[in-house]
A and B are shown apart, each in its own frame.
Chain A
Amino acid sequence: MHRSKDELDSLARSQLAELEGKSLSMKDRGQIPVQEMPTQEPEQRIHNMDEVATGYTESQVKVEALRCLQCKNKPCVQGCPVAIDIPAFIAKAAQGDFAGATETIKQSSLLPAICGRVCPQESQCQKFCTVGKMHKDVDQAVAIGRIERFVADWTRENGCDKLPEIAPPTGKKVAVVGSGPASISAAADLRRAGHEVVMFEALHKAGGVLVYGIPEFRLPKAIVQKELDNLTAMGVHIELDFLVGRTRTLSDLMTKDGFSAVFVGSGAGLPKFMSIPGENYIGVFSANEYLTRSNLMKAYDVGKSHTPLFESHKVAVFGGGNVAMDAARTAIRLGADEVTIVYRRTEAEMPARKEEVAHAKEEGIRFLFLHAPLKIEADDKGRVTGVELIACELGEPDASGRRSPVEIPGTERVEAFDTVIVAIGNASNPLIKQTTPGIETNRRGNFIVDEETCETSIPGVYAGGDIVLGAATVILAMGQGRKAAKAMNRYLATL
């Protein structure tokens, strides 16, 4: 049953009236029900691009914050890749000091409004939460991410976002390649130290995957834009339409253009295909292409956008991560009649955020687990007509510990589709490697960096985010951006 924001709010108000002012025992706290995230109704939201989760109300966030036990050993913090002081910010939120809560988070994470929305909390902080353990159900953990999102939104909307202080000019110039979360974070910390910072982005809009990949209905672009505006206000110069490796090489930047150090946050923007027959037929897209058309090029706004969209009725999406969920849910919003996610393993192994899977189901996305595509079929004009699938079962665990799918011979069959979206992951874009002699990468093309400093094999060149980690997460990219900036500030001080 879908409950409206008003219903959820009035429920929270009455809960709060009962709880406020009382001294609550651990048991009392543990028994407060988890606050449900208000959302747009599924039937309504599949016809628009607006954000699905509309955010807690003030009463809801206060009730949710009261659920926290303020554990001395802070297990949640150990699950957080950047060690945010979670109980501390939740305590502030419980008291209604939302700006203070945001300030606490910002000591560790620069992008709380974004991470509150896109972090896989159920496998990070919330996985270790004592309240969840008490109930033996991670869904009952304190909703740390939702509280984080609320306080960050509140702080922004109420104009309490203070720009950090900038140290006096050092006279040194630093280049930041890319404008995704790794680069945004690195640029902010480098600028704070007083360096002149220039950010180079290849596309005509900054923000990286946050802008071209993750859809509006999950992460409003205005929130990302605000982070970029803050950088500009701090004095970071953002240069768009600049492809490092082609417009200028990385060595040009350092030897001719006067940059003393470079941070590379060029991401993992190279779509993988499966090498099955028929992958180049009309109607087969990488998720990157599909999402870029819709998000970056605004093709969803048919009539206004000049970038065309493919007309789809029956869509198959290959993959089980966030990228696959985003592609499938975009397809439904763009008017497809039926969208099927084809995944080789079972729901338990799906790497996507749990909330996105739940939302996708509510939106009528069909899940075909334990199936793998063998071949894409097309008519004589090359337009996709169907996919040959084979059933799988789970075999022995592989190196990553996940049980690997084994195809079951004799189960091959063809299902009709007119569109196929391949969302099986991204590898790193080879351009900077190809044009920068001396940069060391691993077998997969990821930059090899020092763990502590994020320095690459070239002195003065640092890297972080997906270009180092492979397709990973926003929070890890942010964390590496900051780690690198810290080391770069030390390095620059020695010059």
Chain B
Amino acid sequence: MNKILYKEKLSSEVFKIVVEAPLIAQARKPGQFVILQYGGDFGERIPLTIADADPDKGTITLIFQAVGDSTHRLALKEVGDSVDNILGPLGHPTEIKKYGKVVCVGGGIGVAPLHPIAQAMKAAGNEVKIIMGARNKSLLIMEKEMSAIADELIIVTDDGSFGRKGLVTEPLKDLCETWKPDCVVAIGPPIMMKFCALTTKPYGIHTIVSLNTIMIDGTGMCGGCRVSVGGETKFVCVDGPEFDGHLVDWDNMMMRLGTYRPQEQESHHRCHIGLNIPEGEA
């Protein structure tokens, strides 16, 4: 059950695994995610986007960044190991249709969930331009896959070690001015999505974001994933994960992500023993 068939290290802290999950592989659509639980009774439940799936082989692809305790423990698993529990596909799929011109913006690990959406947007007959950003060159992932889809691929890094130096919002603003997209999809760290939404707002361009709140069950039972969207409380796991970026209360969402920061730092410290990732990098 849920055996890992393939594993690859994409960058110093990003891993790709292909896992057996036939029913999920059949049902999933771009934009949906799964919840994993492993390590017996005491394991945490963590959400990860389905980056790709092969319904014939019955597998799904997950791409994750080892940021804390649970993702580090997942990174320690090898081909042949199993993930005890995988629930999915969860959430609503991305609304894929012919918008015309679409800009896809991916920051850091956000490029992974963006990939199937960009692919589907392209297949739906859209012109697709892609902006990818990372802190530095070594953290860039899936450049080849993205360039195969994109009509134009723009890469930026915070430190200028690859592509343009700067933030994804700069080329995004340029495109809003010159190319006038009909839709923008932005997936990445909340702060990036917030500023992408702020960038597109003056142009009135529909902007889809995918929220990565803290989750437990993923079925709408706990309300831990709630965010305020257009003044209404929404549960990201069942109402989302994608929302209109112009309506999300970003500051509240980012605050809520920090709910367990003291405890996470504690266990983050513990989990580095064993993976040999230098503390500063992860």
Contact = CB atoms under 8 A, between A and B. Distances in A.
A306 interface: yes
B214 to A, nearest CB: 9
A271 B223 contact: yes
A246 interface: yes
Contacts of B27: 246-248
A237 interface: no
Nearest to A305: B42
Interface in B31-55: 37, 39, 41-45
Interface residues of A, number: 43
A2 B259 CA distance: 39
B258 interface: yes
Nearest to A283: B259
B11 interface: no
Contacts of A269: 219-221
Q: Do most interface residues of chain A lie in helix, strand or loop, or is the interface mixed?
A: loop
A289 interface: yes
Q: Do most interface residues of chain B lie in helix, strand or loop, or is the interface mixed?
A: mixed
Contacts of B216: 289, 292-293, 297, 307
A280 B70 contact: no
Contacts of B220: 269-270, 429-431
Interface stretch (A308-316, A334-342, A390-398, A475-483): A308-316
B82 interface: no
Interface in A205-230: 212
Interface in B242-258: 249, 252, 255-256, 258
A289 B45 contact: no
Given A246-B89, A247-B23, A308 B39 contact: no
A193 interface: no
Most interface-central of B23, B89, B262 (chain A CB within 10 A):
B23
B119 interface: no
A25 B16 CA distance: 77
A202 B89 contact: no
B176 to A, nearest CB: 30
Interface residues of B, number: 44
B23 A309 contact: no
A117 B256 CA distance: 37
Contacts of A154: none
Contacts of A286: 222-224
A280 B226 CA distance: 8
Contact of A292 (B86, B217, B226): B217
Contacts of B69: 306
Given A292-B216, A308-B260, A310-B259, A271 B86 contact: no
A288 interface: yes
A285 B216 CA distance: 12
Given A241-B85, A288-B221, A280 B252 contact: yes
Contacts of A289: 216, 222-224
B84 interface: yes
A348 B86 CA distance: 45
A242 B90 CA distance: 11
Most interface-central of B41, B43, B227 (chain A CB within 10 A):
B41
B267 interface: yes
B203 to A, nearest CB: 29
Most interface-central of A297, A310, A311 (chain B CB within 10 A):
A297
A280 B227 contact: yes
Given A247-B27, A247-B88, A280-B226, A306 B219 contact: no
Given A297-B45, A298-B42, A304-B42, A429 B260 contact: no
A301 B238 contact: no
Given A273-B233, A297-B44, A298-B41, A248 B219 contact: no
Interface of A: 202-204, 212, 240-243, 246-248, 269-271, 273, 275, 279-283, 285-286, 288-289, 292-293, 297-298, 301, 304-311, 381-382, 429-431
22 contacts: A204-B37, A204-B84, A240-B85, A241-B86, A242-B23, A243-B219, A247-B24, A248-B23, A271-B221, A280-B233, A280-B252, A289-B216, A292-B221, A292-B222, A301-B42, A304-B42, A307-B45, A308-B260, A308-B263, A311-B263, A382-B255, A430-B220
Q: Which 5 residue pairs spanning A and B have beta carbons closest together?
A: A382-B255, A308-B263, A289-B222, A269-B221, A306-B44
Given A247-B88, A310-B259, 8 more contacts: A202-B219, A204-B84, A281-B255, A298-B41, A306-B69, A306-B267, A308-B260, A431-B238
